[in-house]
Amino acid sequence: VDNLTFYRFQANNKGTLMTNEELWKAVLGEIELSISKANFSTWFKETAIISNENGQIIIGVPNGFAKEWLENKFKIYILRALRSIHEDIKDINCVIYAPRESDPLSAPSGIDAAKAPVLEKSHPSFLDQSFNNDSNLNSRYIFQNFIIGENNELARAACYAVSQNLGNLYNPLFIYGGVGLGKTHLLQSIGNEIILSDPAKKVCYTTSEKFTQELIDSIKSQKVDQFKSKYQQYDLLIIDDIQFLSGKEKTQNEFFHIFNALYQLNKQIVISSDRPPKAIPTLEERLRSRFEGGMIADISKPDLETRTAILKAKSSEKKFHLDDEVIRFIAENVTHNIRELEGALNRIMAMCSLENTFPTIEKVKDILSEIISSSKRKGVNHRHIIRTVSEFYEIEEKDLVSKGRKKEIVLPRQIAMFLLRRELKFSYPGIGEQFGGRDHTTALHAYEKILKDINQNEKLKKDIDLLIEKIYSL
C-alpha cells in the first residue's frame, strides 16, 4: 500500500502536485458529509486510489461487494467529489486488492464479487409457517418479502452479501437502528437463506437476553462448558438486540470468548442493536473494538415512498385491497416504524371484516384516528419520558430527577427536561418541579442548551432521535 504514494497525481495544469493518497483523503472528506456514518464506514473502509492516468481513476477496494456499490450506487458522489478537485477526471473503476496485513480483522482478499442483491418481484411462497426449532428461526422472515427502501438498502445489501459469502466477507456484521425498522427480519433472513441453500449448516438465532438467561442457567447447573461448546459449533450465530448485554460483565466475557473462537474458525457472526457499538454504555472496550472491526450498517426510518411500498406489498400479500388514496392516507399518518404500519393494516382488516364493510377513506380515518393520535400523545407523559431517558442512559430514575450534580447525570437530565418541553409542552416551572423542585431558569437553560447543541453535535442528535423512537414505541 505504501507504493501508492509513488503514484503522483497532477492536481492541475499549473503544476501543483497531490498524491493519490491526498486526493482520496479529500474525496472521502467530501463523501463523508453526504452519507451516513455507518454507510460511509461500510463502503469506504480500506479503499484507496491505486492509479490515475489521463483522468481514469482506479480505486482499490477490499472485496467484490464494495466494488459493486462504489461503481454503481456511489459513483456519482465519488465523481462529483473528484471533479470538484480536478475537473478533468473522466471515470472511475474499482479493483479488488489485498487490505493491509496489519489489520487482523479486515476481510480476506480474493473473494468473488458478491452477486448484486436483487429484489424479487414475485410474491414469496412462504416456506412454511412453522418454527425451525433448532435454529429458532421464523420462516416468515426472508429476503424475498423484505421491501427495499432508501432507509434500509445498504443494511439489506450487507445482509444479503453475508448470506452469499458466509464467514468470508464481513465478520462480524453489525446492523443497528430503532425499533420496528426491520432488524430482526433482516437478521433472520440471513439464517433462512443459509438453511435453505445448505441444510447441513448450523445456524443459531438468539437474542442477547436469551443468551444471558441460558448462561445463568448453565452456571447454576454447572454446565458452562456445555454452554460454550454448544455456541462454538455454529456456522452462523445471530445475536439480536445486543444492547441488552450492556452492563452484564460476566455474559460479555463469555460472549467474547465464544466470539473469538467462532471468528478464528471463519464462522459468521451477525449482531443487531438499537444503536451503534460506540453508543452502548458499559460495553466492554474489547467487545466494542471487535464489533467495530467488522462491518456496521444502519437502518433508518422509512420515508413516505418506502412506507407506501411496504403497505402495498403487505396488503396484496394478505389479498386485502386498498385504494391508492387510502394507502396514501395511512402512509402519511403512520410514520414511526414498520411494525406500527403493519399494526395499522391489521387493525383495518380486522375492523372491516368484523363489520363486513369496505375500507373507504372515511372508514380508515375513523379506525386509525385513535392510533394516530395515540402514537403521538396518549400514554406518553412526563413519567414515561423520564423512565425512557433513565433506561437509555442506564441511570436510576431517582438520580435523574434528583438535585445531584454528578457529571454523568447532568446531560441526560437536560435531555429529559428538553423532551418534556418539546414533546409535552410543559411549562418551565412545571419542569423544575419534576426535577427536585428546581428553579424554572434551570429548565429554560437546559432546553435552550440542548436546542442549540442538537444542531452541532451529531451524537446528541442521534441519541435524541433514538429516544424519540423509544418514547413513541410504547
Interacting residues toward ligand ADP by CB under 6 A: 145-147, 152, 177, 179-185, 310, 338-339, 342
Measured from the CB atom, the residue of 176 and 418 that comes closer to ligand ADP is 176
Q: By CB under 5 A, which span of 16-24, 163-171, 177-185, 360-368 interacts with Mg ion?
A: 177-185
Q: By CB under 5 A, which span of 52-60, 152-160, 162-170, 181-189 interacts with Mg ion?
A: 181-189
- Which residues make Cβ contacts (< 8 Å) with residue 289, sequence separation at least 6? none
C-alpha cell at 336: 414511526
Q: How far is the CB of 309 from ligand ADP (least distance, A)?
A: 8
- Which 365-424 positions form the footprint of Mg ion (CB under 5 A)? none
Q: How far is the CB of 473 from ligand ADP (least distance, A)?
A: 9
Q: How far is the CB of 403 from ligand ADP (least distance, A)?
A: 37
d(CA 305, CA 149): 8
Q: By CB under 5 A, which span of 11-19, 56-64, 87-95, 182-190 interacts with Mg ion?
A: 182-190
Residue 138 within binding range of Mg ion, rule CB under 5 A: no
Report whether the peptide linkage leading into residue 172 is cis, meaning its omega lies within 30 degrees of zero. yes
Q: By CB under 5 A, which span of 11-19, 52-60, 180-188, 428-436 interacts with Mg ion?
A: 180-188
- By the 10 Å C-beta count (0-12 exposed, 13-18 middle, 19+ buried), 362 is classed as exposed
Measured from the CB atom, the residue of 94 and 175 that comes closer to ligand ADP is 175
d(CA 352, CA 251): 48
Measured from the CB atom, the residue of 319 and 405 that comes closer to ligand ADP is 319
Residue 114: what are its φ and ψ, rounded to 5°?
-70, 140
Measured from the CB atom, the residue of 152 and 434 that comes closer to ligand ADP is 152
342 interface partner picked from ligand ADP, Mg ion, none, CB below 5 to 8 A per type:
ligand ADP
Residue 434 within binding range of Mg ion, rule CB under 5 A: no
The answer to whether 298 touches 271, Cβ cutoff 8 Å, is no
Residue 308 within binding range of Mg ion, rule CB under 5 A: no
Q: How far is the CB of 442 from ligand ADP (least distance, A)?
A: 36
Of all residues in this chain, which one has the CB nearest to ligand ADP in the complex? 182
Q: How far is the CB of 320 from Mg ion (least distance, A)?
A: 25
The region that residue 425 occupies, defined by phi over 0 for left and psi between -120 and 50 for alpha, beta otherwise, is: left
Residue 152 within binding range of Mg ion, rule CB under 5 A: no
413 interface partner picked from ligand ADP, Mg ion, none, CB below 5 to 8 A per type:
none
Q: Under rule CB under 5 A, how many of the chain's residues touch Mg ion?
A: 2
Residue 442 within binding range of Mg ion, rule CB under 5 A: no
- Which 21-60 positions form the footprint of Mg ion (CB under 5 A)? none
172 interface partner picked from Mg ion, ligand ADP, none, CB below 5 to 8 A per type:
none
- Which residues make Cβ contacts (< 8 Å) with residue 357, sequence separation at least 6? 351, 363
Q: Pick from 139, 151, 184, 212: which binds Mg ion (CB under 5 A)?
A: 184
181 interface partner picked from ligand ADP, Mg ion, none, CB below 5 to 8 A per type:
ligand ADP
Measured from the CB atom, the residue of 183 and 275 that comes closer to Mg ion is 183
Of all residues in this chain, which one has the CB nearest to Mg ion in the complex? 184
- Contacts with Mg ion by CB under 5 A lie at 183-184
